[in-house]
Structure 1
């Protein structure tokens, strides 16, 4: 519990900044949590529940001093996509499935922490996350267009919603649209004039006040209506169908990975900014326990939130006490201020979601990859298109597969370099300033050798040797990037390569990992032809050995 030890050593001088940051985080979290509850499809109270215990649990178990956990755009959109088809319009069943999914996500994260799988933070590459977040944000904006204008979609699919959107113009509810525009004007105005103020909270307070005074319901403007702190009745759990829960086991693993990866990007960014270290496995455990706390308190999935973490950092938050202060303030709202929240118009929450999602859209960064990394560009763009075309869950799965295939392609067919010496005797890639060494073919294979690329490795070396205009007796291979672990197929393949080079009157020289490679061949009981293979500690010693042997041969000839 790194957070607990930090609180025990708490410095009083941090308290004013932590208190200010805690108030700001609570102010931002309140309206956003309710909005994400609407996005997830559960009661507004669930959003508040998700912002109390999880904050406290993370403050105790997390290793980041700045991170604020809570409902997050990506995870809420994904969990809604998972449970909506299973709930079949039943709000009680939907809430039950959301809770079970949240508990499963927490469980997977705890198991991953126990197995030290913090390296999964690197599973979803930055290009995949860029495409995923852009796709989810655009999906949310189109989805919320119905709530902010007062009509209902007749279809669930994104593409169908987009091309039928113009047909809904005649169904726009003008009073709802006016309230939405007023909310948007407050948000934009405060961002420009008072950027450090909690614009979503202020907008919600102002519009909710007018909703209470003028009774928006008489104008057919939908409001939250009632917010009950009682949660799900016990009787509904007695009738819960476990069969439905089986359908969310695998998706919960996907959501756990997305949640953890997006959280770790925020954790690492703010840790680097504030010059301290974090631990990925500790974060996995903290995220798991936070989601368990969310599920047991009838909330829904939480993750690290970049926007609220930025609010914390901008207000000078120093320690995990910020999360505890924010949780206490939100808890007080649940205890004493639920009735006023019932007057919040649903379109206001829709505008907040659109406003938040708009700033997550960053198509420029995707297209900037075109000139920097063409493969990353196509991967990111494919993820974006897949999420929009076939849905969040299948699109995400397809993106991960594409990323895996791209990685495997680079391993199967990596780049390669022919090496030589420059005028100063330094080894570089062959160029105008670097010349090949007489009687030497020096080669680097830019990938670890495995059972599925050893055949290609052998084929490339033999092809390049056969195409060389001059015969090369010495074939020097840079062994450091290629030999990373003992693979029986690889070591056997090297023996076969030695035999092929023997026919061509060539000697193979493995430069680097001399002792390790000799031990691997001995352990595998592979008897190499010692007249046609040599081991050296590095490339420079290999070149020196070759030149010495050639010089000795010349003297013997003379």
Structure 2
């Protein structure tokens, strides 16, 4: 009979496989407690104003933003593998929610909230399913240029969307050109007290980090703005405030799924799931590398899904990883997932006891916070780097930005992904090909195109094709090889293909290699392979097929192939020397 200790260990092992965050609490170190408590309170101080502001951005009552900050933190702490990542409302996710739901229901209405809960629930299910089938690696396919361009576009869209709140009038159009024209036409309707509050908030957001770097800037700005509104009764003079925020914790509620709109919501939820996960993964990977530990991509996918489902069940909206709050957690010394629980508890206390002061927070101050958040999203450094290093990726980055601004978030990211796929196909379909030679003072073999003093061995053509040889680039391989042979002077006796660079070979590729071998044989040129010899022999034995190249003409490395060529040349010249 198994001992109770063994049973407990078995149960614990199974639970930690399901909820990896539990391991951090089971093996919690007392010396981490003080750091996690301080970090959790600091995270909450940033999350509170951001949650209210992003709720406004997504078209919700401020309380919904706080609900979306609360229980998802608890869910991620249990199911996530990152020690620092903080989840919650995110600018890109909120912009996607607004873009998805505004055509379906009026922002702020009960129908709008019901649709948002369904959207978060479906996005969560998609994330969990993707994690279970091992799609965590899909984060690698949204490249840094795409995400940079996407975030820059979101930043521009957010900033434009707040201009009306800062000037005191509503902007009806979307995009970038039409809102700009509308702003110019309505600038005479500017409400001066509203503009004054907004400018004052901007001044605080700029000055406070320098004057009091330890004070949470956004929270202090909104608190000061609320005090000014309350003291001078600015709300009675036309300055909009967020209004009454209901006190208390959110009830668990199963969302009512509108099946007549489910097809539209599933598509939008898939986009939100992908962007939320990829954004969270970039943040989680960055802080994991900084703190020297590893995270599990697939478990992270499932954890983001669990957090979204919990948000949906507690009257919240879709969430993601939050860069600023994660950075605050790390800067404040957060060491484990307990910091997320402390942050959630702090937000819960505010919801229960401190909601009354929130009603005085002015909308223009929230607009200023969102504009500053948007400015922080803009990444000009990466744009400059891309311009210097890769004009193609710079073009993809700018296309993502313009796509988001001109066509909306989902269409913009889709455009950028399509462009990236086309570029990937072009790179693989037309990879760089190199004729190799030796360079004095350098080991190995190097491209004669990149080294002016590279020297080819007479009678030998060393050729490197930097890609797998498959159906969509096989013809390009053959033509490039023939051109290399034609350009080699004197005409080569051996053509040596560097097989190390050829990572795979499909049926079409094998057929084209055979055709090249036969054509070279008609010219009196021997086709030789260098590298991957063991792999080719194992493949031939497994499939029982004829070999493309004779085993005697397949060498382990380029150097052994060149030595064999010299040995054959010497052997061929010996009978002549004896005559």
Q: How does the TM-score come out when normalised to structure 1? A: 0.95
Aligned equivalent of 2:410: 393
Q: Which residue of 2 aligns with 1:472?
A: 492
**Is 1:253 aligned with 2:270?**
yes
User: Is residue 170 from structure 1 mapped to residue 188 from structure 2 by the alignment?
Assistant: yes
User: 2:435 maps to which residue?
Assistant: 418
Report the equivalent of 2:315: 298
- For the Cα contact (< 8 Å) 1:416–1:446, is it kept in 2? yes
Q: CA shift at 1:111, angstroms?
A: 1.0
Consecutive unaligned residues in structure 2, runs of 5 or more: 1-18
Structure 1 residues 341, 481: CA separation in 2 closer, same or farther (over 3 Å shift)? same
Q: Distance in 2 between matches of 1:512 and 1:420?
A: 17
Residue 217 (structure 1) shift: 2.5
Is the Cα contact below 8 Å between 1:92 and 1:232 reproduced in 2? no
Q: Partner of 1:483 in structure 2? A: 503
Distance 1:13 1:98 in 2: 41
Cα distance in 2 between the residues matched to 1:9 and 1:526? 55
Deviations along 1:79-125, one digit per CA (max 9) or x if unpaired, are: 21111112255722221221111111111111111111121111111
CA contact under 8 A between 2:60 and 2:108: conserved in structure 1? no
Which of 354, 357, 363 matches 1:340?
357
The CA deviation at 1:233 is: 10
Q: Which moves more between the two structures, 372-381 or 159-168?
A: 159-168
SS of alignment partner, residue 509 of structure 1: strand
- Classify the secondary structure of the residue corresponding to 1:475: strand
Shift of residue 195, structure 1, vs aligned partner? 2.0
Number of equivalences: 556
| Structure 1 Cα separation of the partners of residues 552 and 475 of structure 2 | 19
Instruction: Using the TM superposition, give the Cα deviation of residue 520 of structure 1 relative to its aligned residue in structure 2, in angstroms.
Output: 3.1
> For the residues of structure 2 that align with 1:395 and 1:243, how far apart are their CA atoms?
26
Q: Distance in 2 between the 1:514 and 1:373 partners? A: 35
Contact kept in structure 2, 1:207 and 1:344, CA below 8 Å: yes
Kept in 1, the 8 Å contact 2:253–2:315? The answer is no
How far is the alpha carbon of 1:155 from its aligned partner? 1.5
Q: Deviations over 1:4-63 (max 9, x none)?
A: 111222222222221111111001100100111111112211111111111111112211
Match of 2:243 in 1: 225
- 1:34 correspondence with 2:48: no
Aligned CA distance change for structure 1 residues 453 and 210 (closer, same or farther; 3 Å): same
**Per-residue deviation at 1:532?**
10
488 and 229 in structure 1: CA distance in 2 versus 1, 3 angstrom threshold: farther
Secondary structure at 2:414 match in 1: helix
CA distance in 2, matches of 1:521, 1:232: 64
Given candidates 413, 421, 432, the residue that maps to 1:404 is: 421
Q: Is 1:142 aligned to residue 160 of structure 2?
A: yes
- The alignment's TM-score, normalised by the length of structure 2, stands at 0.91
Q: For 1:499 and 1:520, locate their aligned partners in 2 and report how far apart those are by CA, in whole Å.
A: 22
Q: SS state of the match for residue 501, structure 2?
A: coil
In structure 2, the partner of 1:500 is: 519
Helix, strand or coil at the partner of 2:294:
coil
Quick one: distance in 1 between partners of 2:24 and 2:553?
56
- Residue 68 of structure 2 aligns with which residue? 50
Q: How far apart, in 2, do the equivalents of 1:231 and 1:158 lie?
A: 38
Distance in structure 1 (CA, Å) of the matches to 2:194 and 2:479: 69
Give SS of 1:444's match. Answer: strand
C-alpha RMSD over aligned residues: 2.2
- Once the two structures are TM-superposed, the CA of residue 525 in structure 1 deviates from its matched residue by 5.3
Which shifted more, 79-88 or 22-31? 79-88
Alpha-carbon separation, structure 1, partners of 2:243 and 2:155: 27
Partner residue in 1 for 2:6:
none
C-alpha distance in 2 between matches for 1:320 and 1:89: 34
CA contact (8 A) 2:168 2:194 kept: yes
Deviation digits for residues 404-423 of structure 1 (CA, Å, limit 9, x no counterpart): 11111100111121111233
Could you tell me how far apart the structure 2 residues matched to 1:99 and 1:199 are?
31
Structure 1 position 491, deviation (Å): 1.4
| Aligned partner of residue 247 in structure 1, secondary structure | helix
Stretches of structure 1 that go unaligned for 5 or more consecutive residues are none
Residues 465/228 of structure 1: CA separation in 2 closer, same or farther (3 Å cut): same
Moved more, 131-140 or 184-193: 184-193
How far has the Cα of 1:320 moved from its partner?
1.0
> Matched residues in 2 for 1:510 and 1:293: separation?
57
Query: What is aligned with 1:428?
Result: 446
Q: Which residue of structure 2 lines up, in the alignment, with residue 553 of structure 1?
A: 572
CA contact 1:498–1:533 (8 Å) conserved in 2: no
